[in-house]
Structure 1
């Protein structure tokens, strides 16, 4: 009985954390006022999955960085910035470690993509078939062609645009100044259902 009550409380926390405003919470999306993308915020203790059949973006950069959990633990991450993005057949999922509960969000189906502006992602893994237009590899992270920039002396790359098919991503954080989710569906899961 106590275990069920604890699971219910945790499930409630996950659901409340994920109620979208743009789409909110450290485990999914956090709105950022006025497009001021490089904002520090505390991440949850769990990574989450993001999948899409296709991502189309403009204004891309990527460099090394870190994210910090509430307990002060720092995690290395690859920081990616996209000025405008379209995500087709978007799926996001997270499971609560050690508990039979999770959360899954889908949007952007039926040919109407989810869209985001000033998006920044702190990721640990990325898979897919990518095409970059006017890419520059090996630029200094403090000089990338996006508003958000990395630290001077760090390796980075940027491109005018990016397209990734069959996107599969594991991330600590995602934030955007605006996130529009066409056909949003949010559901609690058994903790085993994930995007991939």
Structure 2
């Protein structure tokens, strides 16, 4: 199981998982425009959206699991961990209904220098992208995954997959949470806009 093949696999426009949506109720952001900081984005209900021109990553691990939100509802997700990631032209958006109408929180970074993340973890419900993987292993036991963020493992007997390196281009994803040991942003722009102004 420890031997990893050296071939490449290309997946085009692949929807990993699709989960019915519910209303977004909470956004927690701990970010800074300069330097490296621990960071977390999360919502209490629906998934939010992330788009980027390109992601280069090393140490990918993935396994299926279930998240529960603050109201106790369960969401099937694909837990995705990347040891080190560089994201170019990144946009994150959260659409929220308020008594005054729809509101969108938009975060943008990575226009000049890419956003860098260490021990990046996302709980995906859907991704649409062109992808290239090096050293891809499908069907690995979730408890035996290696090379990804520390302590990110599935349960014994659970479906998992991993890769040494990945490159995603023009990707659009839906996720319930984003966490990282450290994020590094240059030229971070955060705006709250009335109406619907999602990344895609």
Normalised by the size of structure 2, how large is the TM-score? Answer: 0.78
In the TM superposition, residue 23 of structure 1 has moved relative to its aligned partner by 6.9
Greater displacement, 68-77 / 178-187? 68-77
In the TM superposition, residue 97 of structure 1 has moved relative to its aligned partner by 3.2
Q: Does 1:163 align with 2:158?
A: no
Q: Does 1:76 align with 2:88?
A: no
Separation in structure 2 between the aligned mates of residue 129 and residue 62 of structure 1, nearest angstrom: 17
Gaps of 5+ in 1: 1-12, 28-42
3-state DSSP class of the match of 1:92? Answer: strand
Separation in structure 2 between the aligned mates of residue 122 and residue 83 of structure 1, nearest angstrom: 15
In the TM superposition, residue 26 of structure 1 has moved relative to its aligned partner by 4.0
Gaps of 5+ in 2: 1-25
Equivalent runs, 1:37-186 vs 2, <5 Å:
43-97=43-97, 99-110=101-112, 112-145=113-146, 146=148, 147=150, 148-186=152-190
Q: Kindly indicate whether the alpha-carbon contact (under 8 Å) linking 1:103 and 1:191 is maintained by their aligned counterparts in 2.
A: no
Normalised by the size of structure 1, how large is the TM-score? Answer: 0.79
Q: Kindly indicate whether the alpha-carbon contact (under 8 Å) linking 1:125 and 1:169 is maintained by their aligned counterparts in 2.
A: yes
Q: Does 1:18 align with 2:33?
A: no
Aligned residues: 166
In the TM superposition, residue 18 of structure 1 has moved relative to its aligned partner by 2.9
Identify the structure with the greater helix proportion. 1
Greater displacement, 65-74 / 78-87? 65-74
Identify the structure with the greater strand proportion. 2
